Structure 1
Amino acid sequence: WALEFEEEAIMSGNTVEHVKDAAPIMGKYFDILCIRTFPSLKNKEDDYSELYIRQFIKYAGIPIVSLESATLHPLQSLTDIITMQEYMRGPAQAAGFAGRKPKVVLTWAPHVKPLPQCVANSFSQWVNAWGQADFVITHPEDYELAEQFTKGARIEYDQSAALKDADFVYVKNWSTFRDYGKIYTNDPEWMLTNEKLALTNQARVLHCLPVRRNVELSDEILDGANSLVTTQAGNRVWAAQAVLAAILRGE
């Protein structure tokens, strides 16, 4: 049933239980509560307030882990960093990355419907915090993300220029942030292909999945040797286990 999240609400509508009552009960049942929430993509202020997850944090009385929220996807981003680091440490690659930062490119891709900014926001936040990459974000004009997440990255509207000499390319769609939740373009020229990959330093390609084949990413990329997508998805297990273990140890 529907939960009420607003403080001092008069619950005469469709909501049947307040989070102030539900969250503490869940806190009695579990040691850790994992929550996934979604944005409306209608009201930016409401979505970016993260009311739902903040109220669970406030009232549950136990650690809350975000499985994805309206604005961020931290477990995915931890996975992404692990995947890139793991690849860079591989015996065939380690020498090539010695003494230099990898060039990491986050590229917008077309999609059939408007999607949240959470994965792109979170990846930008984590790569900037990591501080070990030459980080470039490329997208069509008017698809700028919130600066609180992208500050420190170079923004490039020319995808080909952004891809030049890249070591990793993260492909993801997101809807507009300023004029919130819109699709301004679905230009298929933004889909990553082997022809575009040739501009890179034999870059490895990442995507959080699920992926629209031959819309966001071509078959030739996903099925090719440069794709880390399956490895990346598998690393979600280890990222989540590491976080849960750290919480249970009280770290």
Structure 2
Amino acid sequence: MPNLTSWSDLPDDVWQHCLGRARHFRDTREWTSGAKGKSIALLFLNPSLRTRASMELAAHHLGAAPVVITPGQGTWGLAWGEDAMTGDAAEHVHEAIGVLARYADAIGVRTFASLTDYDADQSDAALGAIVEASGVPVVNLESAKWHPCQELADAAAITETLGDPRGKKLVLSWAPHPKALPQAVPNSALLMAARLGMEVVVARPEGFSLGTDVMDLAKKTASLSGGSVTESADQDIAFAGADIVYAKAWSGALVYDNPEEEESRRLARMDDWRITNRLMMQTDRGHFMHCLPVRRGVVVDAEVLESEDAIHLLQAEYRLHAQKAILEWVWGMGSES
């Protein structure tokens, strides 16, 4: 069954096919009827603007019917695990997903990292439970560890902007944020750039390294594509000569041990990692990227966002085209469009 949990779980030719189709959909603005009679249930356990809007529209553009479910808002709250259901949640995820799989031809699900249970987040336990309970393909709309929809859109935006990105330099830069945030987007951005054969530098303060398993996978992927992956705790050195700067806040491993207020104080001390025009001037007229939403004046200065070299809105646009490509592949209709 063609689940999309992570691109790393799939053959490279699937990635290449979907990347090409995403570019095709932006070039042609094509609507098709290939998925007429299909439906997708979109389960959002966390907030969304781009993912929800683009996935609903992607289904419509292919002739399919989407239905959006936000547990606890007009539907029953969901229970997880094997404990007796004595709390407020009235429905177990196993039954909820089992029912949706009998209604729809695919299920899309967004379930963020808890940032409280390290083992569950590292194993993507919530997403795994949904895949196990589903009898139809599952599309990961961002999980504890990966965001494959964003990943494909980012790759399409980069290849449109740079042409062949092999050998070009991408800096994945940690940025300040008032709250601890998950690592799914930076994990996926790192793997995406490595897969494209780019020279990737992960710029982050001490204590904010991405997971060892993710870094090792990225280095292995880069070695196969002709790219490289390194780390730096010095933004000025990292930014020198960059073609792309991809900014994103993420939490370090200490978030699982620190009280929330202590983590907030720690983050507040690192506001000098904000992406500024001064930093961007050290690049090779580098293009700025961010997955959005972005906090102006905290993560990045407004003048960077408003520069003609910023492509974060192109990234966001590609979410629609990338998700059309993903749904085509899930439903086996790519060759017919």
| TM-score between both structures, scaled by the size of structure 1 | 0.90
Q: Which moved more, 1:173-182 or 1:29-38?
A: 173-182
Change (3 A) 1:250 1:56: farther
Q: Report which of the two has the higher share of helix.
A: 2
The aligned counterpart of 1:47 is: 121
Match for residue 185 of structure 1 among 267, 276, 287 = 267
Please state whether the residue corresponding to 1:185 is helix, strand or coil: helix
User: Does the 8 Å CA contact 2:107/2:136 hold for their aligned counterparts?
Assistant: yes
TM alignment of 1:168-179, pairs within 5 A: 168-179=244-255
The aligned counterpart of 1:116 is: 182
Instruction: Report the residue type matching 1:161 in the other structure.
Output: I
Cα deviation for residue 250 of structure 1 reads 6.6
The aligned counterpart of 1:140 is: 205
Distance 2:302 2:77 in 1: 41
Distance 1:162 1:213 in 2: 22
Instruction: Report the residue type matching 1:37 in the other structure.
Output: T
Distance 1:192 1:82 in 2: 23
User: Does the 8 Å CA contact 1:117/1:177 hold for their aligned counterparts?
Assistant: no
Distance 1:110 1:12 in 2: 39
Distance 2:87 2:320 in 1: 40
Instruction: Report the residue type matching 2:267 in the other structure.
Output: T
User: Does the 8 Å CA contact 1:32/1:64 hold for their aligned counterparts?
Assistant: yes
Please state whether the residue corresponding to 1:169 is helix, strand or coil: strand
The aligned counterpart of 1:127 is: 193
1:230 aligns with 2:305: no
Match for residue 93 of structure 2 among 5, 8, 19 = 19
TM alignment of 1:59-208, pairs within 5 A: 59-89=133-163, 101-128=167-194, 130-151=195-216, 152=219, 153-180=229-256, 182-183=263-264, 184-186=266-268, 187-208=270-291
1:84-115 deviations in Å (ceiling 9; x for gaps): 011112xxxx7xx6xx5110110011111111
Cα deviation for residue 131 of structure 1 reads 4.5
1:93-146 deviations in Å (ceiling 9; x for gaps): x7xx6xx51101100111111111111111112222x15100100011000110
User: Does the 8 Å CA contact 1:144/1:178 hold for their aligned counterparts?
Assistant: no
- More contact order relative to length (CA 8 Å, sep ≥ 6): 2
The aligned counterpart of 1:6 is: 81
User: Does the 8 Å CA contact 2:170/2:243 hold for their aligned counterparts?
Assistant: yes
Cα deviation for residue 150 of structure 1 reads 2.0
RMSD between aligned residues: 1.8
Unmatched 5+ residue regions in structure 1?
Answer: none
Distance 2:94 2:244 in 1: 44
Q: What stretches of structure 1 move > 4 A for 4+ residues in a row? A: none
Q: Which moved more, 1:183-192 or 1:232-241?
A: 183-192
Instruction: Report the residue type matching 2:312 in the other structure.
Output: V
Unmatched 5+ residue regions in structure 2?
Answer: 1-75, 220-228
Distance 2:98 2:182 in 1: 29
Cα deviation for residue 18 of structure 1 reads 2.0
Distance 2:97 2:271 in 1: 44
Distance 2:182 2:255 in 1: 13
Please state whether the residue corresponding to 1:215 is helix, strand or coil: coil
